Amino acid sequence: MNQSSEWNESQSIQLIRSMIEATKYQVYEEKFLYFLWGYGVIIAGLSHYVLGYIVGFEHPYVSWLLMPVLGLVNFGYMRQKHSGNSSRSWAARVLKGIWIGMLFGILCVVAGGFAIGWHAVYPFFMILYGVAAFATGTALEYKWLIIGGFISLVIGGVAFFLVFQFQLILLVAAVFMSFVLPAHLMQKK
């Protein structure tokens, strides 16, 4: 290899590294979304559990009506944050694809819940949370998202063998490990 080829490879690696660092900073700046969805799912899941298994309310699933509200907050936040900013790095576009894919996956699982029963689909929510966190953590080389995503995947696998009552508790744990804890541990770089 000649000197200019090696220099170009080095420059390319440096460019990729700087794009990843810029995306890490962007994710840090938008960690609000991890808190929004993480704490939102935790509140809805715990409310469902308390209403259904402690209070004995006939329709404890109403707590999940919080999710469309959070979706609107998320949409408004992203619209405001990125209005007029059409330039996004390759890494940011990859992450956007991961999370939009997760959204469509969750919508499919919700539809499946109506068809086959919620006890059968809750483990898939945990698995989707885990995959998205793990993929994001891998792309950004952020170990807490990788670890949290992996734990959420394992919890989702275990949840298939438990009754719905315990799946709700595992869902709360999975979201805490894959969204909330990594967001709290993110540091500005």
Q: What is the mean pLDDT of residues 120-146?
A: 94
Q: Is the pLDDT of residue 4 over 60?
A: no
pTM for this model (two decimals): 0.85
Q: Is the pLDDT of residue 5 over 60?
A: no
The pLDDT tens digits for 94-103 are: 888 999 999 9
Question: Which is higher by pLDDT, 181 or 140?
Answer: 181
pLDDT > 90: what percent of the chain?
A: 69
pLDDT band at 19 (very low <50, low <70, confident <90, very high): low
Q: Is the pLDDT of residue 130 over 90?
A: yes
Q: Is the pLDDT of residue 25 over 70?
A: no
| Amino acid 12: pLDDT | 65
Q: Could you tell me which residues come within 8 angstroms of residue 102 by beta carbon, excluding any fewer than 6 positions away?
A: 128, 129, 131, 132
Count CB atoms within 10 A of the CB of residue 79.
9
Contact status, residue 131 vs residue 149, Cβ threshold 8 Å: yes
